[in-house]
């Protein structure tokens, strides 16, 4: 069966934080030798990754990705990458006097230094003459991971909390030269000219040259696909990147009308919140992004570890078995990425029982294009406990927590796609009768059977879809240390502390993507806050091209969207 490819667009600095963790998680789960397999192949990584060759004939495996960010956001990462040796400086012959200005090299953290060292060792063992390789069949390049790489990154613990300032500081995978797209009109963290309004991002793509460059990059990845499923978009939605993302969504709808577009609108757990302008921008930008982005996406999923985004930022969520620092994007983005990696498994399975269009088409019924995401990371398994016992211990409470701001758990979702991964076969259930466990569950023979039975019994009025995976979520370095000391290296919840020299390498995860009436809380609260503004008093928006009628139309559209979720049980 041919691969059904997906092209991913990461739009914004925090979106790139989330995406970097996501690609790292996927790369750490690659299996390069038959001996390393623990069972049948589960994931087809070709859905999101592409195979290519360098100028020297070495096989590469890179994300099918375009990452958009501002000037000054890359630090040590070169725009053109390093795989293809593009952009190398040539000797310049100039008859007049030349003054050479050299900038100091960017200091790299311990992880990046180790990464460079391992890659240098690998390159020293690789033939550099492509013609020799082609003449000798035995020298055909192979996709392999040297043991030294696993030894360094699989077990070594890094403390990167104080050294990660941008997403490239912990990027483990190589990127194709066509993957990076830098907006040179704005500078990262420039307080004098901040990229903080929806209209600024939309305005960037109105420049013909800028749009042509982006279109060229998108078509590069699309045209090499045999059976394109659609597009992932990870998008910052509280600043100018919301407008930029909406512009790209409009282009994708016009040029690839029949392809699915799933947008994950992400935001940090803590954002600038000290001035009236910062709070106003967050609300106004979110309203525009929810309207435009939601309308142009096949499915729109807000994600953040904050409980509240509008007038006052809520505190970072207190999540069981996690001990993360809400002020560090490096931490919060890792949690979102692990959730994203899990919820996307149904349409990345080897065998393709589900497609991206199946997910988006099922969820956006009756105008409900916004969905909420829930996760249990790690899913609480004890060394002696079972999956069934853990489910039953929650009693009437849902076994997951919300990662969508302003949205709580819902007893009766319209639709949900639930994924469970990383539960060993001997930890599914007990064969003998167990107190407080329904006999019907102990009689199940597989994790998939238990999950489907649990969903049908707990959510009888919901259109449920369940997916189970054998392998746990890999969270080896450079994934941040966000797990509590009671989480063992293989993700179990223990009574004793994990040794200080040992990190968490993998965790079982449970996620639920839902369309439910709690989404009304998000739309109604945003509408209530956005309607308080007299847009004429926010001159910077008018100067950026916003018209008063356009703002009122946006509020009306957000109101109409909320009505799709308003039922007798909706919170107000």
> In which order are the strands placed within the sheet that holds 401-402?
401-402, 372-376, 509-515, 415-421, 463-469
Does 112 map to a domain? no
Report whether pLDDT(3) > 90: no
Q: Would residue 233 count as lying in a domain?
A: yes
User: How sure is the predictor about 92, in pLDDT bands with cuts at 50, 70 and 90?
Assistant: very low
Find the angle CA(6)-CA(558)-CA(15) to the nearest 5 degrees.
Answer: 35
Q: What pLDDT does residue 372 have?
A: 97
Residues 355 and 416 occupy one common structural domain: no
Half-sphere exposure of 404 (CA within 13 A, CB side): 28
What pLDDT is stored for residue 129 in this prediction?
A: 46
Are 265 and 387 contained in the same domain? no
Q: H or E element: which one contains 15?
A: helix 13-28
CB 260 within 8 A of CB 231: yes
Residue 138 pLDDT exceeds 60: no
Write the pLDDT tens digit of every residue in 188-204.
999 999 999 999 999 99
Are both 391 and 345 inside the same structural domain?
Answer: no
Alpha helices (H) in 224-326, listed in sequence order: 240-255, 276-296
CB 526 within 8 A of CB 539: no
Tokens of 176: 């194709």
If one counts every other C-beta atom within 10 angstroms of the C-beta of residue 192, the result is 5
pLDDT above 60: residue 327: yes
H-helix segments, 256-346: 276-296, 329-343
**259 and 398 share a domain?**
no
Flag whether 557 is in a domain: no
Provide the pLDDT for residue 572.
Answer: 42
- Domain assignment of residue 495, given as a range: 371-520
pLDDT of residue 84: 63
* Percent of the chain's residues with pLDDT above 70: 84
Quote the radius of gyration of the chain (alpha carbons, Å): 24
Does 168 lie in the same domain as 69?
A: yes
Residue 74 lies in a domain: yes
- Domain membership flag for residue 201: yes
- Write out pLDDT tens, residues 430-443: 766 666 666 666 66
User: Which pLDDT band holds residue 85 (cuts at 50, 70, 90)?
Assistant: low
What's the pTM value of the predicted model, to 2 decimals? 0.91
> Predicted confidence band at 487 (pLDDT cuts at 50, 70, 90)?
very high
Q: How far is CA 112 from the centre of its chain?
A: 22
pLDDT in tens, 253-274: 999 999 999 999 999 999 988 8
How far is it, in rounded angstroms, from Cα 410 to Cα 395?
15
**Which burial class, exposed, middle or buried, applies to 321 when counting CB atoms under 10 A from its CB (0-12, 13-18, 19+)?**
middle
CA-to-CA distance for 48 and 44, rounded, in angstroms? 8
What mean pLDDT do residues 394-413 have? 93
- Find out whether 316 and 277 touch, Cβ atoms under 8 Å: no
Q: 391 and 295 in one domain? A: no
More confident residue, 569 or 382: 382
| Number of domains composing the chain | 2
pLDDT at 486 over 80: yes
Residue 138 lies inside a defined structural domain of this protein:
no
Region 228-252: mean pLDDT is 97
Is the same domain home to 340 and 440?
no
* Cα→Cα distances 156→107, 148, 195, 487, Å: 21, 12, 38, 18
pLDDT category of residue 448 using cuts at 50, 70 and 90: very high
């Amino acid at each position: 069966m041919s691969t059904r490819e997906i092209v991913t667009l990461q739009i914004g600095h925090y979106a790139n934080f989330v995406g970097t963790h996501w690609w790292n998680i996927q790369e750490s789960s690659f299996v390069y030798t038959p001996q390393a397999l623990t069972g049948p192949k589960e994931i087809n990584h070709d859905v999101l990754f592409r195979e290519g060759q360098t100028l020297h004939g070495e096989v590469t495996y890179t994300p099918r990705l375009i990452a958009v960010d501002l000037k000054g956001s890359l630090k040590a990462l070169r725009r053109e990458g390093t795989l293809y040796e593009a952009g190398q400086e040539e000797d310049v012959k100039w008859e007049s006097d030349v003054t050479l200005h050299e900038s100091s090299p960017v200091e790299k953290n311990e992880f990046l230094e180790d990464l460079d060292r391992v890659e240098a060792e690998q390159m020293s063992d690789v033939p550099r003459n492509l013609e020799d390789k082609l003449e000798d069949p035995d020298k055909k390049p192979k996709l392999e991971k040297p043991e030294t790489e696993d030894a360094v990154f699989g077990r070594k613990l890094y403390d990167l909390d104080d050294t990660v300032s941008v997403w490239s500081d912990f990027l483990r995978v190589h990127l194709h030269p066509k993957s990076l797209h830098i907006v040179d009109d704005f500078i990262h963290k420039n307080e004098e000219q901040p990229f903080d309004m929806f209209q600024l991002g939309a305005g960037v793509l109105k420049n013909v040259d800028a749009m042509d460059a982006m279109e060229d990059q998108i078509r590069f990845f699309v045209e090499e696909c045999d059976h394109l499923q659609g597009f992932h978009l990870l998008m910052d939605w509280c600043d100018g990147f919301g407008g930029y993302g909406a512009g790209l969504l409009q282009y994708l709808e016009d040029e690839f009308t029949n392809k699915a577009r799933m947008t994950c609108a992400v935001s940090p757990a803590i954002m600038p919140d000290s001035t009236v302008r910062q709070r106003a921008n967050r609300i106004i930008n979110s309203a525009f992004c929810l309207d435009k982005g939601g309308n142009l996406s096949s499915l729109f999923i807000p994600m953040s570890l904050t409980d509240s985004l509008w007038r006052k930022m809520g505190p970072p969520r207190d999540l069981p078995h996690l001990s993360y620092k809400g002020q560090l994007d490096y931490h919060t983005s890792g949690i979102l990425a692990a959730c994203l990696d899990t919820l996307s498994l149904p349409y990345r399975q080897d065998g393709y029982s589900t497609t991206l269009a199946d997910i988006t088409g099922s969820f956006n019924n009756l105008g409900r294009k916004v969905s909420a995401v829930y996760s249990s990371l790690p899913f609480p398994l004890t060394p002696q406990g079972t999956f069934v016992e853990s489910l039953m211990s929650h009693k009437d409470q849902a076994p997951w927590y919300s990662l969508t701001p302003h949205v709580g758990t819902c007893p009766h979702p319209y639709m949900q796609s639930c994924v469970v991964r990383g539960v060993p076969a001997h930890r599914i259930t007990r064969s003998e009768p167990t107190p407080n466990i329904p006999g019907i569950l102990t009689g199940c023979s597989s994790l998939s059977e238990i999950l489907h039975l649990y969903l049908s019994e707990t959510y009888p009025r919901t259109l449920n879809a369940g997916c189970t995976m054998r392998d746990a979520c890999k969270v080896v370095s450079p994934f941040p240390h966000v797990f509590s000391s009671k989480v063992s290296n293989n993700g179990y919840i223990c009574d004793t502390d994990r040794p200080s020299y040992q990190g968490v390498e993998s965790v079982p995860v449970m996620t639920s993507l839902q369309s439910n009436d709690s989404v009304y809380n998000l739309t109604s609260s945003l509408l209530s806050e956005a309607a308080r503004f007299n847009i004429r008093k926010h001159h910077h928006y008018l100067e950026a091209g916003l018209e008063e009628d356009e703002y009122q139309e946006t509020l009306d559209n957000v109101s109409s969207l909320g009505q799709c979720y308003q039922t007798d049980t909706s919170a107000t």
